[in-house]
A and B are shown apart, each in its own frame.
Chain A
């Protein structure tokens, strides 16, 4: 048995799993994807595995095999529920695990998202996070009708127009997260005084207008929700290249990145820099033997009609082999991992009942929840309130 420093472990929940044919696995429950029980069951399993948190994928458009619009396919899972509401629905049925729903910033209001995530933090007693998502998709913009985003395909990734669009969207996202964080701080922790003698419910000097005026957003504040239990819920972002790395470094507490080998893991961790915890994203097909895992992937690929590819590294193997990989990448500079189960519940239970015990044996993972908040699990301090610092 070797002992290494503990790593952090999250799973990314999405539909029936990340493989497009996942819903056809014998243990899948495709008819239950839109029920509360389905999601509660998965998150409870992740909690039994002592994972730090789950993320819940979401988007403002229908799933598609194309970047630039719906694909009219009928052979894959289509449709999903609002991730923030799934997280809220699951919160009272769990007690330790962090809940990190995705919410898009491009077409939404920071005031609404701020109060929703703050409220998730209250409903979960300090376990809320948020995965910030930017949308550069023209069809999602058309669902709102408030701004035009030109139609791009992924082949246009390097075109000057798309480079400019991406830079602008991430600038806007940077402002957006700043507004949300200021709204979380807009009440000092002890603002509610309930002073019967003077009749004052709050000390209004401990509430603050944020008066944010940026290039994209102007928001007055304060929030209508008092400062949440964690002070600021945990902000996370997925990043693949320089502009999003810069955004994640500035705005997030946890950055999800997608290296394909140990060297890249080190390079990317260095590029993101020392601000956020850097987690590696890995898609996992797990089996009792490496051959079994490969066979599973092949079977799913055959059902889907094409070999599965991903923005993230695709791992096939045993929980023990995965533990080896995670520990190598950890040494290269990653603080933890967000594993994307290829199919649910199979790869989730392989993580909680195979990978986790293996990591525990190696002294690399917790044996019990050591903190009651998500920040506590991640070793992140509760942030001081920026408005309280100067003194009232």
Chain B
């Protein structure tokens, strides 16, 4: 039997993969948009729905960024409400471990797991920066190098809280008057370099015991953290070679934590553009790219690397001949992608060479280098490509990021999913009830 593919739906929001200017684009805030996308994902038998998180609005050149979608609702609240309008779909959300406390987050996830009958998942992320910290009592307190340490301590503390109630604690025997089997349910005491807490956790053990844990780190520390703690890792590697390298690397790290390769799923984020033919899809993809990257967006994108105001440049003209400002990026705040480019001088040199060789304007260059269009083609082409990447161990499935809300998943659900089902690599019905069931993960004891 071929490997079974896992599919998830990311609700697109505040980044330039989302096309808000399209006439088909609806609200990224109104609850009905979330309902529509989640119900489409469930109709297509997806494993889970995925929400990102933001804790401070992005800024560029000291001003709130206004060219992409701005604003989003609260992760926990949306997921709990979606539990009312879905039955099987996993409900996963990003929750920061830096500007929260383990007791509160563990309560919220345990509650979400109860309220969804076992469908909760937690994408554990970290921050450290004072910029985000300005919205919190904590302030900007964490050294960058401590962030995974805090995240790991946070997660382990949360696990202790999840495990503080045994599954048989509640008897609720009306005749004898025993509500609890024994006194002291939820008792915990945890002390490490980040957390010193004790008491009684007040949410009984939830259907999954613990929510499914997702991780998104790609650095060495991030991969190690995922290998030690995560049920699924959310990466950006979606080509065959890069995917296989990443897949082999993270699965290879599991043994040292006493874990088997199937205990950590690799689920890259992926975008898609479909068409009746491959050529039609490619044409549509070009239109989408131009919708995603306006001239102004292209300049703002370049500023992330140049670390200086480039608003005087013509986006249809050549790349700036000035070099990036090296050092702390003060132009762009609150945007994770700034950290992805590595050495800005080298990046700028490479992009200039690329632009000169191919005669690209700033906008063309940005369209080319920022493209994350993973699957472009007819439904048959896309189904085959997804299947190949999974069968050849470049991934265990994909977290799909449509570029439109709320209908951006409809076409995929109607055309690609049936082809994957025909291939025998994707479920036609849910056979379990919890998110762990869908992902083939054991329930923790």
Closest B residue to A93 by CB, please name it.
B84
Name the interface residues of B122-175: CB closer than 8 Å to any CB of A.
134-137, 139, 165, 170, 172, 174
Does B225 lie at the interface of the complex (its beta carbon under 8 Å from any beta carbon of A)? no
Provide the A100-124 mask, 1 if CB < 8 A to any CB of B, else 0.
Answer: 0000000111011001101110110
Closest A residue to B72 by CB, please name it.
A224
**A72-B183, A78-B179 are known contacts. Are A61 and B202 too (CB-CB below 8 A)?**
yes
B112 near A85: Cβ-Cβ < 8 Å:
yes
Closest B residue to A91 by CB, please name it.
B81
Distance A88 CA – B34 CA, assembled complex (angstroms): 13
Distance A217 CA – B138 CA, assembled complex (angstroms): 10
B20 near A23: Cβ-Cβ < 8 Å:
no
Distance A82 CA – B104 CA, assembled complex (angstroms): 9
In the complex, chain A residues whose CB is within 8 Å of the CB of B136: 109, 111, 219
Does A192 lie at the interface of the complex (its beta carbon under 8 Å from any beta carbon of B)? yes
A78 near B29: Cβ-Cβ < 8 Å:
no
B84 near A89: Cβ-Cβ < 8 Å:
yes
In the complex, chain A residues whose CB is within 8 Å of the CB of B204: 34, 79
A82 near B67: Cβ-Cβ < 8 Å:
no
Does B80 lie at the interface of the complex (its beta carbon under 8 Å from any beta carbon of A)? yes
Distance A107 CA – B199 CA, assembled complex (angstroms): 15
Q: How far is the CB of B198 from chain A (nearest CB, A)?
A: 5
Name the interface residues of B52-80: CB closer than 8 Å to any CB of A.
54-57, 63-64, 66-74, 76-78, 80
Name B200's contact: one of A70, A116, A120 (CB within 8 Å): A70
**A89-B83, A116-B76 are known contacts. Are A36 and B116 too (CB-CB below 8 A)?**
yes
Name the interface residues of A27-73: CB closer than 8 Å to any CB of B.
28, 30-31, 34-36, 40, 59-63, 70, 72-73
A74 near B181: Cβ-Cβ < 8 Å:
yes
**A30-B174, A74-B178 are known contacts. Are A144 and B72 too (CB-CB below 8 A)?**
no
Closest A residue to B103 by CB, please name it.
A143
Does B2 lie at the interface of the complex (its beta carbon under 8 Å from any beta carbon of A)? no
A30 near B172: Cβ-Cβ < 8 Å:
yes
In the complex, chain A residues whose CB is within 8 Å of the CB of B108: 82, 85
Name A145's contact: one of B64, B100, B196 (CB within 8 Å): B196
In the complex, chain B residues whose CB is within 8 Å of the CB of A61: 199-200, 202
Does B185 lie at the interface of the complex (its beta carbon under 8 Å from any beta carbon of A)? yes
Does B331 lie at the interface of the complex (its beta carbon under 8 Å from any beta carbon of A)? no
Distance A35 CA – B30 CA, assembled complex (angstroms): 26
In the complex, chain B residues whose CB is within 8 Å of the CB of A70: 199-200
In the complex, chain A residues whose CB is within 8 Å of the CB of B114: 34-36, 81
In the complex, chain B residues whose CB is within 8 Å of the CB of A203: 66
Q: Is the interface of B mostly helix, strand, loop or mixed?
A: loop
Does A246 lie at the interface of the complex (its beta carbon under 8 Å from any beta carbon of B)? no
Does A346 lie at the interface of the complex (its beta carbon under 8 Å from any beta carbon of B)? no
B179 near A122: Cβ-Cβ < 8 Å:
no
Does B184 lie at the interface of the complex (its beta carbon under 8 Å from any beta carbon of A)? yes
B135 near A111: Cβ-Cβ < 8 Å:
yes
| Number of residue pairs spanning A and B whose beta carbons lie under 8 angstroms apart | 226
**A85-B108, A112-B100 are known contacts. Are A118 and B84 too (CB-CB below 8 A)?**
no
Closest A residue to B78 by CB, please name it.
A119
**By CB atoms of chain B within 10 A, which of A93, A123, A140, A192 has the most?**
A123
Distance A118 CA – B64 CA, assembled complex (angstroms): 21
Name B297's contact: one of A125, A140, A199, A224 (CB within 8 Å): A199
In the complex, chain B residues whose CB is within 8 Å of the CB of A277: none
B134 near A207: Cβ-Cβ < 8 Å:
no
Q: How far is the CB of B153 from chain A (nearest CB, A)?
A: 12
B80 near A88: Cβ-Cβ < 8 Å:
yes
Provide the A331-374 mask, 1 if CB < 8 A to any CB of B, else 0.
Answer: 00000000000000000000000000000000000000000000
In the complex, chain B residues whose CB is within 8 Å of the CB of A140: 199
Does A75 lie at the interface of the complex (its beta carbon under 8 Å from any beta carbon of B)? yes
Distance A200 CA – B21 CA, assembled complex (angstroms): 9
**A30-B174, A145-B195 are known contacts. Are A36 and B67 too (CB-CB below 8 A)?**
no
Size of A's binding interface in residues, CB under 8 A:
77
Q: How far is the CB of A111 from chain B (nearest CB, A)?
A: 5
**A36-B117, A109-B99 are known contacts. Are A79 and B67 too (CB-CB below 8 A)?**
no
A24 near B203: Cβ-Cβ < 8 Å:
no
B183 near A116: Cβ-Cβ < 8 Å:
no
In the complex, chain A residues whose CB is within 8 Å of the CB of B103: 60, 143-144
In the complex, chain A residues whose CB is within 8 Å of the CB of B280: none
A115 near B69: Cβ-Cβ < 8 Å:
no
Does B373 lie at the interface of the complex (its beta carbon under 8 Å from any beta carbon of A)? no
A122 near B29: Cβ-Cβ < 8 Å:
yes
Name the interface residues of B393-427: CB closer than 8 Å to any CB of A.
none
Does A250 lie at the interface of the complex (its beta carbon under 8 Å from any beta carbon of B)? no
Name A116's contact: one of B68, B77, B179, B296 (CB within 8 Å): B77
In the complex, chain A residues whose CB is within 8 Å of the CB of B115: 35-36, 81, 85-86, 89
Does B358 lie at the interface of the complex (its beta carbon under 8 Å from any beta carbon of A)? no
Does B433 lie at the interface of the complex (its beta carbon under 8 Å from any beta carbon of A)? no
In the complex, chain B residues whose CB is within 8 Å of the CB of A84: 76-77, 80
Provide the B271-311 mask, 1 if CB < 8 A to any CB of A, else 0.
Answer: 00000000000000000000000101100000000000000
Q: How far is the CB of B173 from chain A (nearest CB, A)?
A: 9
Name B83's contact: one of A36, A63, A125 (CB within 8 Å): A36
In the complex, chain A residues whose CB is within 8 Å of the CB of B74: 112, 115-116, 118-119, 225
Provide the B86-114 mask, 1 if CB < 8 A to any CB of A, else 0.
Answer: 00000000000001110110011011101
Does A76 lie at the interface of the complex (its beta carbon under 8 Å from any beta carbon of B)? yes
**A31-B170, A79-B170 are known contacts. Are A207 and B57 too (CB-CB below 8 A)?**
yes
**By CB atoms of chain B within 10 A, which of A23, A72, A107, A139 has the most?**
A72
In the complex, chain A residues whose CB is within 8 Å of the CB of B83: 36, 89
Does A90 lie at the interface of the complex (its beta carbon under 8 Å from any beta carbon of B)? yes
B71 near A224: Cβ-Cβ < 8 Å:
yes
A85 near B111: Cβ-Cβ < 8 Å:
yes
Does A242 lie at the interface of the complex (its beta carbon under 8 Å from any beta carbon of B)? no
- Beyond the given A74-B179, A84-B80, A118-B74, please list 15 additional residue pairs across the A-B interface where CB-CB is below 8 A: A30-B172, A30-B179, A62-B186, A79-B203, A80-B203, A81-B114, A89-B83, A89-B116, A108-B104, A119-B78, A140-B199, A202-B66, A217-B137, A224-B56, A224-B72
Chain B positions within 8 Å of A, measured between CB atoms, are 20-21, 29-31, 35, 54-57, 63-64, 66-74, 76-78, 80-81, 83-85, 99-101, 103-104, 107-108, 110-112, 114-117, 134-137, 139, 165, 170, 172, 174, 177-186, 195-204, 294, 296-297
Closest 5 CB pairs of A and B: A88-B80, A30-B172, A119-B77, A82-B111, A220-B134
Name 26 interchain pairs, CB-CB below 8 A, sorted by A: A23-B172, A34-B114, A40-B84, A61-B199, A62-B185, A62-B186, A74-B181, A74-B182, A75-B179, A84-B80, A85-B77, A85-B111, A88-B77, A88-B80, A89-B116, A111-B99, A115-B73, A118-B74, A120-B77, A123-B78, A142-B199, A194-B20, A202-B66, A204-B66, A218-B139, A225-B71
